[in-house]
Structure 1
Amino acid sequence: MLAILVHLLLTSIFLLIVANFVKGVEINNFGAAFFGAIVLGICNAVIKPVISFLAFPITVITLGLFLLVINALMLQLTAAFVSGIKVKGFLPAVVGSILLTLLNLLIDWVM
């Protein structure tokens, strides 16, 4: 349980970092980032596997690059559900999802 809470807090901080570095991604406050981390986690756990399964042929053809599109869609879906998060366009969603993925990989590597 503590590990989940730490992961949510770190993801919240990472979302705030993404909002500071990527023009087009806006987060109002830490509360919105924390709620966004929860919604993003739910989207990644429930919706992303279904979309990844359905898009498997496209993912194979693009040598896995289509997963970047799926990650960007998850970020945009999170922004649609959380009122304090705004993603203005698809390109900021792609760049934001890449940065968020790199930050999560870094923390997974450290832990």
Structure 2
Amino acid sequence: MTTIFVKFIANAVALAAAVWLVSDITIGEPGDSTGSKAVTLLIVALIFGVVNLIVKPIVKLFALPLLILTLGLFTLVINALMLMLTGWLADDRFEVGGFFSAVLGGLIISIVSWAVNMILDRD
């Protein structure tokens, strides 16, 4: 149970970092309060976790030849697609401006999520 909570917190922190660093990735409406944006961030982190849990392994399985051919670099494209899918599922509350913003956001999310998992998961 704690591992799920740690991954959820890591996703939330990583998404917040991506929103902060990439100008084309936005969360909430421009006039929303900080509390409203925080709740939206937690909901988006939950959606992102579910997408990564269910959809990402299926996409990786079908993209296995490309993953082998590119020595795993196609994972960046898969991460970008998962971020764009999360933006589509979250509707107007979370928006990804374009594919290259999604690639940069996916890279930031991967790095920050890895770092937060390393810090919090001390098993």
- Work out whether 1:9 is the aligned partner of 2:9: yes
Pick one of 94, 97, 108 that aligns with 2:106: 97
5+ residue gaps in structure 2?
29-36
Q: Secondary structure at the match of 2:95?
A: strand
The one-letter code of the counterpart of 1:105 is W
Q: Which residue in the other structure is 1:54 paired with?
A: 62
5+ residue gaps in structure 1?
none
Structure 1 length-normalised TM = 0.91
- Work out whether 1:80 is the aligned partner of 2:88: yes
The one-letter code of the counterpart of 1:88 is G
The one-letter code of the counterpart of 2:45 is A
Q: What's the CA shift for 1:13? A: 2.8
Q: What's the CA shift for 1:12? A: 1.7
Question: RCO greater where, 1 or 2, for CA within 8 Å and sep 6 or more?
Answer: 2
RMSD: 1.4
Structure with max Cα Rg: 2
Structure 2 length-normalised TM = 0.83
Number of residues of Structure 1 aligned to a counterpart in Structure 2:
111
Q: What's the CA shift for 1:16? A: 1.7
Q: Give matches, 1:29-68, under 5 Å.
A: 29-68=37-76
